Structure 1
Amino acid sequence: MIEPLYDIIGVGIGPFNLGLAALLAPTGVKSLFLEQKPAFQWHSGLLIEGCTIQVPFLADLVTMADPTSPYSFLNYLQAHSRLYHFYFYENFHIPRQEYNHYCQWVAQQLDCCQFGQRVEGITWENTENESYYQVQVRQVETGAILTYNTRHLVLGVGSIPQVPPCFRTVHSEKIFHSAEFLHKRDRCRESQSITVIGSGQSAGEVFYELLQEQPGYGYHLEWHTRSQGFFPMEYSKLGLEHFSPDYTNYFYALPPQKRDLVLSQQNLLYKGISATTISDIYDLLYERSVCGNQPDVKLLSLVEVKEVESVGDRFILGYRHRQQDTRLTHETDCIILATGYQHEIPNCIEGIRDLIRWDDKNRYGVKLDYRLALTQDIPNQIFVQNGELHSHGVGAPDLGLGCYRNSVIINTLLGESVYRVDRRNVFQQFGVA
């Protein structure tokens, strides 16, 4: 027998793996979750004051699976003497800073969550008595190497900022992704002109924050996107039913080529801007335009950046207008790339890469129960968190489906129905069979 042998090790501690750790706590499963950051942090560069999470507080780490869990958001409020504050707040969408603090509160209570530990390699070992994954970890602070053994794995490394190709060879402290906005805000305040690129929620929030501060710092402000406009995210109640187990099951049953086509047509289900943010921006622009004033602001859609040139302390961007097919240039001295995120295949799985089945686009082959399809028939499973957009649909990155996915993972792991998984959760029907 190999000792110590964990039942499951999680790579990465974001909200999804943290929720899994919390839901595993009462089951007796021997688990370990590893994260290279020194403490839990959720999009720390976008914890802008006044910004809320885009799902109701019920989409916390545990409630949608177990409302009685001690790790619920309501219990967090009780522990911090904030229940009456929240009661009078009368808002289902909580501040992003508070959600981050809530997750930190949960992480601090779970001994299975260890931070400052970077997973650097994973191999599959098959001995006469036991087969298991061996996980090599480096302690970030000391550099010491540790080795853990586990029957199963769950990959929850999340996504990384996506940078358009033309920006990857231009290195400057004044070009950065919106994920770093709060950490690099001073660079904006020191600039004469700022350009925000992108048209999702992060772009809207960053632009609005810069717009509010503009009178105090006097910079010129522009907002550009290759999209057709600055459109709101779909947030009607029937539209939201796409973020349900029912739609996940429907989407999974589609042929892979059809899934890709459907996803390409669903951007506004999860990539638009909240109507509230758009309204706040418009209202402020309107207020700034009274008495014959003209805001020192420009919004431009349908323009795609093709070239970036550094000239002294400034940048010249070359664009193509996607409908007029004309070229234009724009000069600025600070660029914020609100260009979204992409899922990362972590380097640490290179040692088990041949064990995993990949689709024709080099993406994970994922089963309906969130297990990766493997090339060998072995008892050691690998689960994935938020790496299955291509197979399970738009709900993959949504906090509201985190508890459902974790319920499925736990039930599969233990071979019994530990957490209830309902089949009928929405009013509409997806598909005809």
Structure 2
Amino acid sequence: MDGLATKQILDLIGIGIGPFNLGLAALLEKTECNSLFFDKKPRFEWHPGMLIEGTTLQVPFMADAVTMVDPTSRYSFLNYLHEQNRLYQFYFLEKFHIPRNEYNHYCQWIAEQLPQLQFGSEVENIERTKDGYYHVTVYSSSREERKTYVTKHIVMGIGTKPYVPDRFRLANQDRIFHSSEYMNKRRNTRNAKSVTIIGSGQSAAEIFYDLLSKQPDNHYELSWYTRSKGFYPMEYSKLGLEHFTPDYAKYFYQLPKEKKQGVLQNQALLYKGISFSTIADIYDLLYERSVGSNDLNVHLQALTNLVSVEEWNDQFRLSLYQHEQETSISVTTDIVILATGYHPYIPDFLKGIEHLLEWDENGQLLIQEDYKVKTKVEGQNNLFVQNGELHTHGVGAPDLGLGAFRSASIINEIAGEKIYKTYEKNVFQQFGV
């Protein structure tokens, strides 16, 4: 069933309901903005494949959907605790970094209170009319119907998607898979005779620790390879964290574009690497297991690239290359877990307007400082992006701690007034001259 949903012109349509557009929807409560948000998922889920018991956010709880611009909001994490009758338990917990599954439940709690959120609804196409409005075609899987909505503004919050190099994509996806699917395939993984993890970041470390913890019950061989120089910690010093602020985003945005990629590469440990606590947990467990010269049946190796994977006698044969020694090795394993990160992508629904948008030489959208996508139609760039501006705004783009600020900036721009107070100076250091 197709049709025009309504003659009413919406102020805003949000595409994707992850933490950032969820926060935007919550913060819109202080405005008269008429909005709808769509996501093809049946409900809010934040990285469900990585909700491993004992894992925490890597940012303080204040990086919730609203607090950094509106600490009095009823959608704050502290009010969530109050409504859940958990304030005293959290008070005695005395931790800034909350369990990851609690953050997911907090976001679901917000989503249940916002009627403008429509899950099970996939945006299929966007077109721009001569009068400057967007026509957004949405398919609802639950109602099995397709409707077109009209809006003045769009905010894309589709995030990134799991990245697996093409040469590692094999037919047997139950036994070679991306880390984002780990919890769905953990039982099968624990029943294998050998498991190999590829990658060097937090996801790889959490999966390794989870499997290491259960190894005595299942007796699998456990291996972990990374091309990085070592199993290094993420930079988490207080002055280093000031890179995840509006101040640094402003500084980075103003850098010449030919410098930006090099700067990001040199800052890898600001947003990649492993937390100190996870590294300590892994080491402590390895130490305890090795008492009495016990055989750990564990292999950790850095400086080693995965070159190729092939199916071999109901296993996988991995070709690896130690790039300092310039030596190739071959190993076999039952399960391969690829903690190969996430990449931004251009969604198919932009095809209807892609000719109006400005792109850089790498095929990425050009994003203005106010998070609008640059367009070829002067004065008609009312398409905003959340967490798609790493290449233009720097390392803070995917950070939860900047989400509320970015949402507030977008709301202030759309409303034409300062609904939310933001500050010019948030750090002690100065990033530029």
Q: What is aligned with 2:194?
A: 193
Q: What is aligned with 2:112?
A: 108
The 5 Å alignment of 1:356-371 reads: 356-371=357-372
> What is the deviation of 1:223?
0.5
Q: What is aligned with 1:243?
A: 244
> What is the deviation of 1:378?
3.9
> What is the deviation of 1:170?
4.6
Could you say what secondary structure the match of 1:131 adopts? coil
Q: What is aligned with 1:375?
A: 376
Once the two structures are superposed, residues 66-116 of structure 1 have per-residue CA deviations (whole angstroms, 9 ceiling, x without a partner) of 011110001101111111111111101000000000000001100111100
> Does structure 1 conserve the Cα–Cα contact (< 8 Å) formed by 2:124 and 2:138?
yes
> Does structure 2 conserve the Cα–Cα contact (< 8 Å) formed by 1:53 and 1:93?
yes
Letter in 2 for 1:72: S
> Does structure 2 conserve the Cα–Cα contact (< 8 Å) formed by 1:131 and 1:380?
no
Q: What is aligned with 1:83?
A: 87
Letter in 1 for 2:95: N
Q: What is aligned with 2:41?
A: 37
Q: What is aligned with 1:317?
A: 318
> What is the deviation of 1:169?
4.1
1:25 aligns with 2:29: yes
1:414 aligns with 2:415: yes
The 5 Å alignment of 1:115-264 reads: 115-126=119-130, 130-264=131-265
Once the two structures are superposed, residues 307-356 of structure 1 have per-residue CA deviations (whole angstroms, 9 ceiling, x without a partner) of 11101310001112121221111110101111110012111111010111
> What is the deviation of 1:144?
1.2
Provide the rounded CA distance (Å) in 2 between the counterparts of 1:173 and 1:188.
Answer: 9
Q: Normalised by the size of structure 2, how large is the TM-score?
A: 0.97
2:54 is aligned, of 50, 54, 57, to: 50
Q: What is aligned with 1:348?
A: 349
Could you say what secondary structure the match of 2:217 adopts? helix
Letter in 2 for 1:424: K
Once the two structures are superposed, residues 237-287 of structure 1 have per-residue CA deviations (whole angstroms, 9 ceiling, x without a partner) of 011001011111111110111001100111100011000000000000000
> Does structure 2 conserve the Cα–Cα contact (< 8 Å) formed by 1:117 and 1:137?
yes
> Does structure 1 conserve the Cα–Cα contact (< 8 Å) formed by 2:358 and 2:373?
yes
Once the two structures are superposed, residues 145-194 of structure 1 have per-residue CA deviations (whole angstroms, 9 ceiling, x without a partner) of 11111011011111111102321245331011111111110121121000
> Does structure 2 conserve the Cα–Cα contact (< 8 Å) formed by 1:170 and 1:308?
no
Letter in 2 for 1:418: I
> Does structure 1 conserve the Cα–Cα contact (< 8 Å) formed by 2:374 and 2:381?
no
Distance 1:118 1:90, change over 3 A: same
Could you say what secondary structure the match of 1:223 adopts? strand
Alignment RMSD:
1.0
Q: What percentage of aligned pairs have identical amino acids?
A: 55
Provide the rounded CA distance (Å) in 2 between the counterparts of 1:326 and 1:292.
Answer: 29
> Does structure 1 conserve the Cα–Cα contact (< 8 Å) formed by 2:198 and 2:339?
yes
Letter in 2 for 1:43: H
2:74 is aligned, of 70, 87, 98, to: 70
> Does structure 1 conserve the Cα–Cα contact (< 8 Å) formed by 2:135 and 2:148?
yes
> What is the deviation of 1:142?
3.7
Provide the rounded CA distance (Å) in 2 between the counterparts of 1:320 and 1:79.
Answer: 53
Provide the rounded CA distance (Å) in 2 between the counterparts of 1:418 and 1:61.
Answer: 16
Provide the rounded CA distance (Å) in 2 between the counterparts of 1:3 and 1:364.
Answer: 31
> What is the deviation of 1:398?
0.2
Once the two structures are superposed, residues 115-153 of structure 1 have per-residue CA deviations (whole angstroms, 9 ceiling, x without a partner) of 000111111112xxx431111111123431111110110
> What is the deviation of 1:380?
5.2
> What is the deviation of 1:218?
0.7
Letter in 2 for 1:79: E
Provide the rounded CA distance (Å) in 1 between the counterparts of 2:408 and 2:427.
Answer: 18
Provide the rounded CA distance (Å) in 2 between the counterparts of 1:197 and 1:360.
Answer: 31
Q: What is aligned with 2:64?
A: 60
> Does structure 2 conserve the Cα–Cα contact (< 8 Å) formed by 1:7 and 1:150?
yes
Letter in 2 for 1:403: A
Provide the rounded CA distance (Å) in 1 between the counterparts of 2:7 and 2:381.
Answer: 16
Q: Which moved more, 1:324-333 or 1:373-382?
A: 373-382
The 5 Å alignment of 1:299-314 reads: 299-314=300-315
Could you say what secondary structure the match of 2:428 adopts? coil
Could you say what secondary structure the match of 2:363 adopts? coil
> What is the deviation of 1:203?
0.5
Q: Normalised by the size of structure 1, how large is the TM-score?
A: 0.97
Letter in 1 for 2:98: I
Could you say what secondary structure the match of 1:70 adopts? coil
How many residues were matched structurally?
428
> What is the deviation of 1:45?
0.7
Letter in 1 for 2:388: G
The 5 Å alignment of 1:422-433 reads: 422-432=423-433
| Structure 2, unaligned runs of 5 or more | 1-5
Provide the rounded CA distance (Å) in 2 between the counterparts of 1:394 and 1:191.
Answer: 38
Letter in 1 for 2:19: P
Letter in 2 for 1:178: S
Q: What is aligned with 1:15?
A: 19
Letter in 1 for 2:294: N
Q: What is aligned with 1:4?
A: 8
